[in-house]
Structure 1
């Protein structure tokens, strides 16, 4: 009886440990750099990308965020300990409060690649994938980067 209680408790811990941030789809999305190199292959494709907001701008009928993309971590958030994987622009329809998305704010989004536009990063031309936002997940407060999670492993084995 005691063994079965431990087994049930252990299974519950494992299931909780496998959970991601609520609602983030598990899509194997191409990196923004990959999309910028061959945009015609990705137009209309749904992506899940994460990154850090560089700048946000309200326009007449939309809000545009320039985002420095990072690979996603085990929770579905941007892993800023890894090298960036390019930039993209996320477009939200209508007015979005850019104060809620200041420079440095980490986010993950689900969206659709609409096109690739040439813009500027400093004096250099840059091909920005344009992603229409369907859903956003905000991470740590502005200026706070989540530390990497320490993982604990459980194993059963023996040594000779």
Structure 2
């Protein structure tokens, strides 16, 4: 009887490992790990031509989106990244940069206020009009749009406590 049970256990273990593997992080490894020699945004802003062609992993909050025929341009407010590549929730002004993605991005999904991390090469900056400054442009190879952070309401001092009449 033990011989017939072993295949069932093996199948069950295989299914468990497949299910757990499916729950693992699904964002690109280039987003998870910083690129070696990743220059800062301020260094690139000082001398864009020197860093042209360098690969960077930057992230922040989407400030604007512009869809063109062949690509989409995202304007991103740069923020420091956590160890997994997600932009931190702090109000530090590192500046802005542009990210060019070679396909259409839905402006309802990639809307201002969403966090995004991009990996790509620094390209020649785009002319954006006379009154707007030149911003570094990243030709995006990989990107990850982060899910919004969901926090409980601030007025709940204890997770199970609810105000009177809120049952």
TM-score when normalising by structure 1:
0.67
Which consecutive residues of structure 2, in runs of 5 or more, have no partner in the other structure? 1-24, 152-167
1:92 is matched with which residue: 77, 84, 101?
101
Residue 62, structure 1, aligned to residue 71, structure 2: yes
TM-score of the two chains, using structure 2 as the length reference = 0.65
Instruction: Give the drift of 1:81.
Output: 1.2
Q: Which moved more, 1:91-100 or 1:107-116?
A: 91-100
Q: How many positions carry a matched residue from both structures?
A: 123
Helix, strand or coil at the partner of 1:100: coil
State the distance in 2 between where 1:130 and 1:100 align: 21
Q: Which structure's CA Rg is the greater one?
A: 2
Task: Please say if 1:137 is aligned against 2:144.
Answer: yes
Q: How far off is 1:49 after superposition?
A: 0.2
Aligned counterpart, 1:105: 114
Q: Judging changes above 3 Å, is the alpha-carbon distance between structure 1 residues 94 and 75 closer, same or farther for their aligned structure 2 residues?
A: closer
> Are positions 1:127 and 2:134 aligned together?
yes
- Return the alpha-carbon distance in structure 2 between the equivalents of residues 104 and 66 of structure 1: 11
More strand by share: 1
Q: Which runs of 4+ in 1 moved over 6 A?
A: none
How big is the shift at 1:116? 2.1
Unaligned runs of 5+ in 1: 1-18, 147-160
In structure 2, what is the equivalent of residue 25 of structure 1? 33
Please, which moves more after superposition, 62-71 or 26-35?
Answer: 26-35
- The 1:145–1:131 alpha-carbon spacing in structure 2 relative to 1, beyond 3 Å, is farther
Decide whether the 8 Å contact of 2:61 with 2:112 is kept in 1. yes
- 8 Å CA contact 1:31–1:85 kept in 2: the answer is no
Once the two structures are TM-superposed, the CA of residue 22 in structure 1 deviates from its matched residue by 5.8
CA distance in 1, matches of 2:63, 2:150: 14
